[in-house]
Amino acid sequence: EMQLVESGGGLVQPGGSLRLSCEVSGFTISSSWMHWVRQAPGKGLVWVSRISEDGRVTNYVDSVKGRFTISRDDAKNTLYLQMNSLRPEDTAVYYCVRVVVTDVTYWFHPWGQGTLVTVSS
Amino acid sequence: ENVLTQSPGTLSLSPGERATLSCRASQSVNSNFLAWYQQKPGQAPRLLIYATSSRATGIPDRFRGSGSGTDFTLTISRLEPEDFAVYYCQHYSDSSLFTFGPGTKVEI
């Protein structure tokens, strides 16, 4: 069974940093595109970042470019999101997601249970 | 940027009724890159439909996706109590990467 377990969320002051982790079991992250998606309290889903199977390609939503860095440790089968210069508007539940890409389509599955990041003084 | 709009914002229905959820894109979308997700309170989203009309593994056939171009629809033929949730459409494009719609809440 594929499972993704996020950790590392918590309360941080504006301008601070956090590193989120996503421990994966049931598949190897080196064979998958891995993504982060966030959801502010009571709001919708927002795609944040992705990393390719070989780690060479990373992309970010404009609002986090230059502040967030996605990475992974294949030996630990773990995905990370380093978040610096945090702002109150970064407050959200952060989900890690495996994205399956085929020749013609893609899908986001499975999702982790999420970890809450709260940016507040 | 291709913006997704979902309507209605909230759909109030009873079990056994049919639900029709709309997702409209501001520009034409490759139908291979249009997906739907279900989210229940306190839970992570769950994949329902990918490539406009392909049901994910384990999704019952009362869920049906359709559409093309800029207009896409998720239909739930007969609502079950467990179907009351928020539904999001999502698409991919080279320019915008991944975009979610604002969601439609299906409530009793």
Residue A22, pLDDT above cutoff 80 = yes
**Per-residue model confidence (pLDDT) at position A3:** 96
CA distances from B78 to A85, B18, B105 (A): 47, 5, 16
* Ranges of residues in chain B whose predicted pLDDT is under 70: none
Element (H, E) at A36: strand A33-39
Residue A103, pLDDT above cutoff 90 = no
Q: What amino acid is encoded at A104 in this protein?
A: V
pLDDT higher at A97 or A102: A97
Beta strands in chain B (DSSP E): 4-7, 10-12, 19-25, 34-39, 46-50, 54-55, 63-68, 71-76, 86-93, 97-100, 104-107
Q: Residue B44 and residue A112: Cβ atoms within 8 Å?
A: yes
Encoding tokens for residue B8? 């209605």
Q: Residue B88 and residue A59: Cβ atoms within 8 Å?
A: no
Fill in the DSSP letter of residue A29: G
Encoding tokens for residue B53? 């009309």
Q: How far apart are CA A113 and CA A37, in angstroms?
A: 11
Residue A42, pLDDT above cutoff 90 = yes
Choose the mutation target among A6, A45, A59, A62 for the interface with B, i.e. most B CBs under 10 Å: A45
**Per-residue model confidence (pLDDT) at position B94:** 83
Task: Give which of B8, B84, B90 is closest to B56, Cα–Cα.
Answer: B90
Residue A5, pLDDT above cutoff 80 = yes
Interchain CB contact of B104 with A (< 8 Å): no
**Per-residue model confidence (pLDDT) at position B21:** 98
DSSP, collapsed to helix, strand or coil, labels residue B56 as coil
Q: Residue A105 and residue B54: Cβ atoms within 8 Å?
A: yes
Q: Residues B4, B7, B10, B13: is their CA dihedral positive or negative?
A: negative
**Per-residue model confidence (pLDDT) at position B69:** 95
Choose the mutation target among B29, B92, B98 for the interface with A, i.e. most A CBs under 10 Å: B98
**C-alpha angle A11-A117-A16 in degrees, rounded to nearest 5:** 60
Mean pLDDT score of chain A: 96
Interchain CB contact of A45 with B (< 8 Å): yes
Contact B47, A95 (CB under 8 A): no
Q: Which residues pair with A34 in a beta bridge?
A: A51, A98
Which residues of chain B make contact with A60, given a CB cutoff of 8 A? none
Q: How far apart are CA B18 and CA A110, in angstroms?
A: 27
**Per-residue model confidence (pLDDT) at position B95:** 80
Pairs across A and B, CB distance < 8 A: 57
Which residues of chain A make contact with B32, given a CB cutoff of 8 A? 104-105
Q: How far apart are CA B78 and CA A91, in angstroms?
A: 37
Which residues of chain A make contact with B65, given a CB cutoff of 8 A? none
**Which residues contact residue A42 at a Cβ distance below 8 angstroms, ignoring those fewer than 6 apart?**
none
Q: Residue B56 and residue A108: Cβ atoms within 8 Å?
A: no
Mean pLDDT computed over A74-79: 96
**C-alpha angle A46-A34-B58 in degrees, rounded to nearest 5:** 85
